Structure 1
Amino acid sequence: MIRARMLATAMLFNGNDLLMMKRSMTRTLNPGMWAAVGGHLEPEELNDPRTACLREIYEETGLAEHEIHDLHLQYILLRLNQNEVRQQFIYTARTARRDILQTDEGVLHWIPLDQVLNRKIPFIFHSLLEHYFTHGPTAHIWVGSAGFDHESRPVVQWAPLIDPMAL
């Protein structure tokens, strides 16, 4: 049976740094790896990933909505993990301050952008960061679907999400 899981994630920038979490070794998913702030959507948030993103930011950093600037949806990632389709909404934003809380989910660090990709990062998030650093922020949303190429290597295919009614 295929199940579905929805997640909301925030790539938070301050100056030339990205806020990243080195996940606790006790975490089930990607222990010890570097990730962005985020988590699962609660049942009442299923139609509102932005609200889930803001909740996760506050829970994991202590940053309130008024301290987050230019929050916008930049990516939607789709992937199959065993028998679960995961749909992840990735937002980008700038923060008004750098001082943040620490939680038991991992340790938060401001990482200079030129050092971000040197971290041990899950494949799909590494691919997203490479794409973002190449294309930068855009007015449209990117959709990425994870799969394998003809040589069975993992790959993410990117396409802009276009509203056909706007054409």
Structure 2
Amino acid sequence: MFRTRMIATAMLFNGNDLLMMKRSLSRTLNPGMWAAVGGHMEPEELNDPRTTCLREIYEETGLSESEISDLRLRYILIRINQQEVRQQFIYSGHTTRRDVLQTDEGVLHWIPREQVLHREIPFIFHRLLEHYLQIGPAPHVWVGTAGFTDTAKPTVHWTALSDPNTV
């Protein structure tokens, strides 16, 4: 039997830099690794991941919605991790300021774009960052599913999300 975990995350840019958190060693998920800001959806947010994303941004950085431009859903990641189906909604946006609060969840750093992939990042998020930094913002949402290649190597399969009723 699988449990589910719903998460919303934000890739926040300021100029050429991405805001990343070096997660505290006391965190349950991915302690000590690098991640974007975000967190679990509350029950009342299950149909509104953007609200979760904005709440988590504010809680973890002190940035309000008015200080973020072009916050758009870019990716939905789906994977199985230890009998849990994880679905993560990834937004990207740009901040109008660089000064952010610090929380006990980890330490926030502005990382230059060309250095982002040199951090210890969870596998599926690393693949997402590779994809985003190579492709850039798309007019559609990408769905990434964790799986394996024909040679049994871990990979993420990317599909452009579309509405077949609009064709």
TM-score by length of 1: 0.98
Partner of 2:25: 25
Gaps of 5+ in 1: none
CA RMSD between the two structures = 0.7
Partner of 1:8: 8
Give the aligned residue type for 2:132. Answer: Y
Report how far residue 151 of structure 1 moved. Answer: 2.7
Partner of 1:82: 82
1:64-143 equivalent positions in 2, closer than 5 A = 64-143=64-143
1:27-66 equivalent positions in 2, closer than 5 A = 27-66=27-66
The secondary structure found in structure 2 opposite 1:52 is: helix
CA distance in 1, matches of 2:163, 2:26: 42
CA distance in 2, matches of 1:37, 1:62: 11
CA distance in 2, matches of 1:80, 1:149: 16
Q: How many residues align?
A: 167
Gaps of 5+ in 2: none
Give the aligned residue type for 2:126. Answer: H
CA distance in 1, matches of 2:2, 2:28: 20
Identity level (%): 73
Partner of 1:149: 149
CA distance in 2, matches of 1:139, 1:122: 26
Report how far residue 40 of structure 1 moved. Answer: 0.3
Deviations 1:1-23 (A, max 9, x none): 11111000000000000000000
